[in-house]
């Protein structure tokens, strides 16, 4: 066993699913990216008055970017492993598009406006909700981060084989944090601003712990495997 109930083989599989080992330079880049996203969301709370619901948006942007990236990658990389995930992403995208269409038609009938006018009005309202809170920059950075890291996950699939994992280690932690933050923190937090700052701190802690956990796992595996020259010695 490597640590707690995580076996060495499970640890190797987890590390491969994360895209392989991080070099010191890559670890620094991950920290800088996390600091940049955290700073932009803090700016949105401080300047734009972003709420806890706004803090969900970078995570949603990462998810939507992943949904779009999967079919595009599958079109160029012919591998059977991510086929199920690709089909699921297409279903989700179709469901989201269908939901938008139905909502637009219903709201158009409620306000007696053409669907073209209604969808433009709704899109403008959503953009204002995002831009007024200065959340467009965290969304853009989150989407860029997923896009940049996605080729490494495809390369990892081709090198090590399935399963294909598109999400990072911190997704489960952030999802748990969002559930706690959006449903439990209002019971102990007074104002909406205090709730937003509390959730901001928890999200930062979740991402930081996920990154440190990945670094710790590979450090422990290196101790087991020994130096690179020993690993190649017959």
Percent of the chain exceeding pLDDT 70 equals 70
Percent of the chain exceeding pLDDT 90 equals 16
Mean pLDDT of the chain: 77
Res 127: pLDDT: 94
Please tell me which residue, 1 or 175, carries the higher pLDDT value. 175
Query: Tokens at residue 70, please?
Result: 């999967």
pTM of structure: 0.76
Using an 8 Å Cβ cutoff, are 67 and 88 in contact? no
Name the band, by pLDDT with cuts 50, 70 and 90, for residue 63.
confident
Checking if the pLDDT of 231 tops 60, the result is no
Q: How many CA atoms lie within 13 A of 110 on its CB side?
A: 7
Name the band, by pLDDT with cuts 50, 70 and 90, for residue 230.
very low
Per-residue pLDDT reduced to its tens digit, 73-99: 777 776 666 677 778 888 888 998 998
Per-residue pLDDT reduced to its tens digit, 26-35: 788 888 988 9
Which residue carries 């992403």 as its tokens?
Answer: 89
Cβ-count burial 203-226 (b if 16+ within 10 Å, e if not): bbebbbebbebbbebbeebeeeee
Name the band, by pLDDT with cuts 50, 70 and 90, for residue 189.
low
Over residues 215-229, the mean pLDDT reads 71
Using an 8 Å Cβ cutoff, are 65 and 166 in contact? no
d(CA 230, CA 115): 67
Per-residue pLDDT reduced to its tens digit, 2-48: 555 667 776 676 666 666 677 788 788 888 988 999 999 999 999 99
Per-residue pLDDT reduced to its tens digit, 133-175: 999 999 999 889 888 877 777 776 666 655 555 555 455 556 6
């Amino acid at each position: 066993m490597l640590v707690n109930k995580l076996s060495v083989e499970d640890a190797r599989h987890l590390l491969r699913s994360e895209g392989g080992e991080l070099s010191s330079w890559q670890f620094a880049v991950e920290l800088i990216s996390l600091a940049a996203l955290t700073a932009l969301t803090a700016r949105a709370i401080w300047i734009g008055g972003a709420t806890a619901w706004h803090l969900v948006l970078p995570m949603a942007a990462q998810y939507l970017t992943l949904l779009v990236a999967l079919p595009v990658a599958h079109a160029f990389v012919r591998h059977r492993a991510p086929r199920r995930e690709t089909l699921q992403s297409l279903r989700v995208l179709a469901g989201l598009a269908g939901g938008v269409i139905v909502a637009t038609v219903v709201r158009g009938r409620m306000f007696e406006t053409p669907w073209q006018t209604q969808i433009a009005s709704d899109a403008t309202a959503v953009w204002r909700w995002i831009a007024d809170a200065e959340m467009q920059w965290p969304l853009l950075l989150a989407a860029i981060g997923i896009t940049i890291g996605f080729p490494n996950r495809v390369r990892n699939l081709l090198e090590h084989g399935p399963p294909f994992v598109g999400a990072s280690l911190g997704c489960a932690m952030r999802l748990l944090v969002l559930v706690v933050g959006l449903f439990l923190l209002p019971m102990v937090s007074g104002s909406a601003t205090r709730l937003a700052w509390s959730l901001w701190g928890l999200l930062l802690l979740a991402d930081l712990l996920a990154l440190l956990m990945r670094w710790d796992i590979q450090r422990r595996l290196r101790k087991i495997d020994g130096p690179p020259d020993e690993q190649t010695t017959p």
